[in-house]
Structure formats: structure tokens, C-alpha cells
Amino acid sequence: MIFETTPSQTVGPYFAIGLPFDVGPFAVPEGTPGAFHLTGTIYDGAGIPIPDFLLETWQADPDGRFADMYGYGEASELPGFRGFARYGLEDGDGTFDIVTVKPGRLPVPPTFGDAAQAPHIDVSVFARGMLHRTVTRVYFADETEANAADPVLARVPVERRPTLLAEPYAGGYRFDIRFQGPNETVFFDV
């Protein structure tokens, strides 16, 4: 390393004038087979929804392929698949709602043996009052077997793992994010 990184600063309260875009909440085009809503509420340490957050997600398609900008691995063949969603509003109420599909299981680096990662979605949260993004992962509560073998979940204390599980509901999955308190979401150091 010959240079140091530029430091992070908060996204501030007014990001909505620059960052959201029309199809931002859609990681897949509307009408994609198997598409569902991933929705939830983001709570601060007082249990109050955070209205001015920006949430971004990144994931593989159901075949475990990415729409990576440099074509890492085999490129996704799902029509219109972006695998990326961005959600943030000028007048937010603390909830997010993105449209996506469930990613496939993914291989792991050789150092992790032949384990496979359970379906997961990487999440970044930015907000006023956050000087650096916070990162978490969405797993799926109905993937019991895959979750049990996941090498990242294995690093999380058993009692905290439920904070990473999206729960199925009629329209898709629900995933709340809590910054503090007894059910504080697990955040990762990337």
C-alpha cells in the first residue's frame, strides 16, 4: 500500500437530492419470476425509526451469479438482473422496501474448505449521525439447513444469529435493523 484511503464522512440528512434514482429500489425488474419485497424498519437506540437513512443491497442471482461490473465469475443470465438496490427518501418514515429475488448458495474461498455460503444479501446503511457506513447481511429464516452450514453465520454468537434472519410474510421477507438495544442487529467489520 503506497497511499492511504480517503476517510469516510456522514452521508448527512440531505442525500436525497443526489443519490436515489427511479429504479433504485429494484434489484430485479418488476415482474421477474420469483421476485418479492424485502422490507423492514430501521430503529435507533431509543427504538425510534430513523427517517433519514440510505440503504443499499448487493447480492447474487438465484444461480449464484453476479451482475458484477467486471464480470467476476460467470455473469448473471437473469434478464435485467442488477443485484443492487438503493433505497432512501427525502421524506422517509424509517421503513425500506426493495424488490429482489432470493440469491443462490455461493462458494467460499479455499481457506474455508468446501462449505457453501447460505443465500445472503449484503447491506450497507448510511445516515445522518453515521460517520461511516454500517454493514450487515440478510439471511433467510426458511433456509435452516443452508444457514447451519454458513461460515459467516458460524462466526456470530448463536443468540445473536436471529437478528440476521429475514422472516417470510405474505409479500416477501421482513428484515428489521436495530442499532442498539437487546435485539441489536449484528453489524460486520468489512
Partner 1 sequence: MTEELQAEPAEERQIYDPIGPTPTSYKREPEGAHPPLDFEGYKSTALRHPKQPLIYLPQMITEITGPQLAPVVMGAGDNDLTTQHEGEPIGERITVSGRVFDTEGKPLRGTLVEIWQANAAGRYKHRWDRWPAPLDPNFSGAGRCVTDDEGRYQFTTIKPGPYPWGNHYNAWRPAHIHFSLMGRAFIQRLVTQMYFPGDPFFPYDPIFNSVRDPKARERMISSFSIHETVPNWAAAYEFDIYLRGPGATPFEEAH
Contacts (CB under 8 A) with partner 1, residues 13-52: 13-19, 21, 23, 44-46, 48, 50, 52
Assign 3-class secondary structure to 137-157.
Answer: EEEECCCHHHHHCCCCHHHCC
| Part of the chain binding partner 1 (CB under 8 A), chosen from 28-36, 141-149, 165-173, 176-184 | 176-184
Contacts (CB under 8 A) with partner 1, residues 64-123: 66-73, 82-84, 90-91, 106-109, 111-112, 117, 120, 122
**Residue 58 contacts partner 1 per CB under 8 A:** yes
Residue 29 in grid coordinates: 425488474
Which of 74, 77, 93, 132 contacts partner 1 by CB under 8 A?
132
State whether residue 172 is helix, strand or coil: strand
Closer residue to partner 1 in complex, CB, 124/170:
124
Size of the site for partner 1 (CB under 8 A): 79
Mask 144-173, x = binds partner 1 (CB under 8 A)? -------xx--xx---x-------------
| Residues 30, 73 contacting (CB under 8 angstroms) | no
Residue 146 in grid coordinates: 443452508
Name the burial class of residue 88, with classes exposed (0-12), middle (13-18) and buried (19+) by CB atoms within 10 angstroms of its CB: buried
Q: How far apart are the first and last CA of the chain?
A: 18
